[in-house]
Structure 1
Amino acid sequence: MSSPIPFEQARGIAASAEALPAVRRSLEEGIGCVLSEPVTAQLDIPHAATSAMDGWAVTAAEEPQWALRSDRADRPGIVLQPLAAGEAVAVVTGTPIPKGAHSVLRSEHGYIDHSGSQGTRLHATPGTPDLEPHRNIRPTAAEAHTGQLLCEPGRILTATRAATAAVAGYDNLAVIPPPRVRLILTGGEVITSGHPAPGQVRDVFGLALPTMLGAMGADLVGSDRIDDDAAALVDLMEKNPPDVIITTGGTAGSPADVLRPALTRLRARILVDSVAMRPGHPALLARHNGTYILGLPGNPLAGFAALAALGEPLIRALRGITPAATSHALRAGSALQGPRTGVRLVPVQVTQETVQPLPHTSSHMMRGLAEADALAIVPAGGLTTDQHVECLPVPGSPGPIGGRAHISIR
């Protein structure tokens, strides 16, 4: 293992990955992907003027009364014939406005008279504002004109943006697909249920990583569990290689650590050999035949810290999100102890843009991370109260840093 790479340099290497090639997907399948083409209105939105109210489409008239036609639109899809002078016709919300209409008189602002000699007549309630030109009519292109830009490339296709694209006339879009990720969980001492005996530990990565990776926008395509066996690890890495392989454990240099020997057999290119960070310094990033290999240390906090430091920017880069490496500047609410060299990632809670360190934050522990809103990046020498501190989101966090909901159960 060579000298650790500085923290920001290591993150920059992970963030420099090229985005995956774009593919065409249906709007539904593209939700959550990053757009690689602009979304423009393929037609005017709305493409036809429609009624904004239930009532009657009326023509301009000196006296507020009209001959009421016998045909009517009792659902939005009915297209009515043009109105002649002095006519009105019943419409519902969403009905295309017939040619010749002046406005829409709301149903509560009019009444029908069947008693006159001139046939059925519609009368407007005195004082109604609905006789103003275009009143209660949703005009064509009120939202967008044909060709108008609705969403730029590089933005995530959210459900609401997909719905907007549908309204704009799209059935599919060019998007950058989520990176396909496979997990390889190593360690014969790791058990998945029950109480561990001496020499055993409960699995945390197989439980938490799928949800964390999904929240990052990755597509988990498989998960394998093996003993500390370099040959078995090589075989798995060469089998149906995805975009990213994430391994857990075995990243250091002891005889029990198998990742580095496996990468040597594969002749993989080491991009990050280790990182000047605590916990998580044995984390590594390599590449083999187009597949990125991210090695997370086996200690829980160390592994999840490495995922935040290297995995998050790698996945964002592959998704085409810029900037790929991000952090959030907050303020230290109390002194934060730093390492002798490099940086220390400290689980913290965030209150009103101020961070407080949590207990139980050794590399093998989970309690501190479980209660954390963020991971503070504390430089060598530490930080004093009120100094600015850059923070990373906890992997898999449901919202932005500081946006955590605290729920009281009674």
Structure 2
Amino acid sequence: MIAPLELEDARERLLDLLSPRASRPRPVDSAAQLFLAEPVTARRSQPPTDLSAMDGYATVGDGPWELAGESRAGAPFPKALSNGMAVRISTGAQMPFKADAVLIQENARIEDDRLVAIEPPTPRNIRRAGFDFQASATLLEPGMRLGAAQIALARTGGLSQVVVHDRPKVAIIECGDELCADPTDCPPGLIPSTNGAMLGEMARDAGADIARYGPLPDDADAITRTILEASGNAALVVISGGASVGPHDLVKPALEAAGFTLEFWRVAIKPGKPLLVARRGDTVVLGLPGNPVSSFVTGFLFMLPAILKLAGARDCLPRALALPLAEPIPEGGGRREFLRAAWSAEGVRAFPQQDSSALVPLAQADVLIDRPRHADAMETGAFVPCYPLRNGAYA
């Protein structure tokens, strides 16, 4: 039997099968969470002219100064100043022509109708034209995701539209005779379905438009029909359950019946070993284990990078943080392990319960601790690589 693939090899093979979706111009105000297909280039400089960084007085030369008027944001002083003159100025207001410093309000007083400085004015209180960016500068690179700050930057750069990739369409199929769709009406012997909703939310957060199917019974014909239906619109089909080797694990034969070719099967990680990838044309199927924690971990490590690749992200892989252990952890096993752990001021603490069906520690987890195969036991204070779950390990 072929040995399971290492995580990085398997993920690279998956991502090599995928390409970003088509791109098109969209209003910048409605492009949130999409990924840029083309750079955002400034059409103007910011600020367009010298501005005051403080409330106070714009001055020319040494004081005391004669007051000549006021410059407000949106209502600049219309004339040039000469030596020994000043104008009242507010934060963000345009500096009058020839003004060379700003005396802040706290350092100013008026004596005999003249402006006097308690401490001298300084040019450091001027925001110079173009200090943030110049016209024609590249503000945002292709592959960056547009959030609130990026939308603000694009608008400030003078753009009303940006060119972004379409959201990828992802179908999620949940399989298993034991699954009950309604968690409030679950007969004895069945369990509420969870993975479809869980994976759907993960995919939606990553930027996908999703369609959910199931839960399906362990019936090869039903699974085949659903795969054919789901693959009609989706670039990525994610199947939870039925990817192992038991007599009721029917995903592989169903994929073959639907015309898909198996690319690889099994990855040397825990939880999540029975993972498969298949392809037919431009559609890729990712088969995940049915146990909820295994499905979550493999969804995190494989489904999310796949969606980000389809969405046009520059960085598709999760980023680990080195965090100290709040308590010791024992030596590892023969597979690379991802431990659910809580994160506090003292460090990370792996939950004692790591069973692949246990949802309480998964729901309470802040990070996944990444442990190599045959890892040595580690003491309190040792640093371990961790993938954040709550604030996101992905760009």
Q: Same fold (TM over 0.5)?
A: yes
What is the aligned partner in structure 2 of residue 404 from structure 1?
none
Q: Secondary structure at the match of 2:134?
A: coil
- Equivalent in 229, 237, 246 of residue 238 of structure 2: 246
Structure 2 Cα separation of the partners of residues 30 and 370 of structure 1? 31
Q: Distance in 2 between matches of 1:345 and 1:385?
A: 15
SS of equivalent residue, structure 1 residue 245: strand
> Does the 8 Å contact 1:273/1:283 carry over to 2?
yes
Contact between 1:4 and 1:281, CA under 8 Å: does it hold in 2? no
Q: What is the deviation of 1:231? A: 3.7
Please report how far the alpha carbon of residue 355 of structure 1 lies from its aligned counterpart in structure 2 after TM superposition: 6.0
Listed one character per residue, the Cα deviations across residues 74-110 of structure 1 (whole Å, up to 9, x for unaligned) are: x521243223546554443322223243444555624
1:124 aligns with one of 112, 115, 118 = 115
Task: State the structure with more CA Rg.
Answer: 1
8 Å CA contact 1:241, 1:291 repeated in 2: no
Q: Secondary structure at the match of 2:256?
A: helix
| 1:51 match | 52
- How far apart are 1:370 and its partner, in Å? 3.2
Alpha-carbon distance in structure 2 between the residues aligned to 1:317 and 1:259 = 24
Equivalent residue, structure 2, for 1:30: 31
Q: Does 1:80 align with 2:71?
A: no
Contact 1:103 1:137 in 2 (8 A): yes
Give me the whole-angstrom Cα distance separating, in 1, the residues matched to 2:155 and 2:139: 12
Displacement after TM superposition at 1:338 (Å) = 0.9
For residues 110 and 16 of structure 1, do their structure 2 counterparts lie closer, same or farther at Cα, with a shift above 3 Å needed?
Answer: same
Query: Residue 183 in 1 paired to residue 184 in 2?
Result: no
Separation (CA, whole Å) in 1 of partners of 2:187 and 2:25: 51
Question: Is the aligned partner of 1:147 residue 2:141?
Answer: no
Partner of 2:201: 211
Partners of 1:265 and 1:111 lie apart in 2 by 88
**How far apart, in 1, do the equivalents of 2:81 and 2:164 lie?**
49
| 1:35/1:155 contact within 8 Å kept | yes
Which segment drifts farther, 93-102 or 286-295? 93-102
Identity %: 26
Partner of 1:313, secondary structure, is helix
Instruction: Please give the per-residue CA displacement for 1:225-245, whole angstroms capped at 9, x wherever unaligned.
Output: 243244444444344422222
Match of 2:354 in 1: 361
Q: Give the residue type in structure 2 aligned to 1:68.
A: A
State the alpha-carbon separation in 2 of the partners of residues 102 and 350 from structure 1.
51
CA positional deviation for 1:307: 1.6
Q: Matches of residues 268-307 of structure 1 in structure 2 within 5 Å?
A: 268-307=260-299
Q: Of the candidates 51, 74, 92, which is equivalent to residue 90 of structure 2?
A: 92
In the alignment, which residue of structure 2 is the partner of 1:169? Answer: 158
Instruction: Confirm or deny: 8 A CA contact 2:194 2:292 kept in the other structure.
Output: yes
Which residue identity is paired with 1:284?
L
Distance 1:347 1:102, change over 3 A: closer
Give yes or no for the alignment of 1:227 onto 2:216.
yes
Partner of 2:4: 5
Distance 1:389 1:128 in 2: 50
Render the CA deviation track for 1:131-170: whole Å, top value 9, x for unaligned. x5x4643221222333344444444434223322322223
Alpha-carbon distance in 2 for matches of 1:275, 1:136: 59
Q: 2:66 aligns to what?
A: 66
- Given that 1:314 and 1:324 are in contact with CA atoms closer than 8 Å, whether structure 2 keeps it comes out as no
The answer to whether the Cα contact below 8 Å between 2:17 and 2:284 also exists between their aligned partners in 1 is no
Instruction: Tell me the distance in 2 between the aligned counterparts of 1:103 and 1:258.
Output: 76
Structure 2 match to 1:405: none
Question: Aligned in 2, Cα 1:390/1:20: closer, same or farther, shift over 3 Å?
Answer: farther
Q: Deviations over 1:3-52 (max 9, x none)?
A: 45323322222243444044433333333344444444433221112233
Structure 1 residue matching 2:300: 3-state secondary structure: helix
Q: Output the aligned Cα RMSD.
A: 3.6
Unpaired segments ≥5 residues, structure 2: none
Secondary structure, aligned partner of 1:80: coil
Work out whether 1:383 is the aligned partner of 2:376.
Answer: yes
Q: TM-score of the superposition, structure 2-length normalised? A: 0.79
Cα separation, 2, equivalents of 1:236 and 1:380: 37
Query: What is the CA–CA distance in structure 2 between the aligned matches of 1:248 and 1:164, rounded to whole Å?
Result: 40
Residues 328, 392 of structure 1: 8 Å contact kept: yes
Separation in 2 of the partners of 1:254 and 1:393?
32
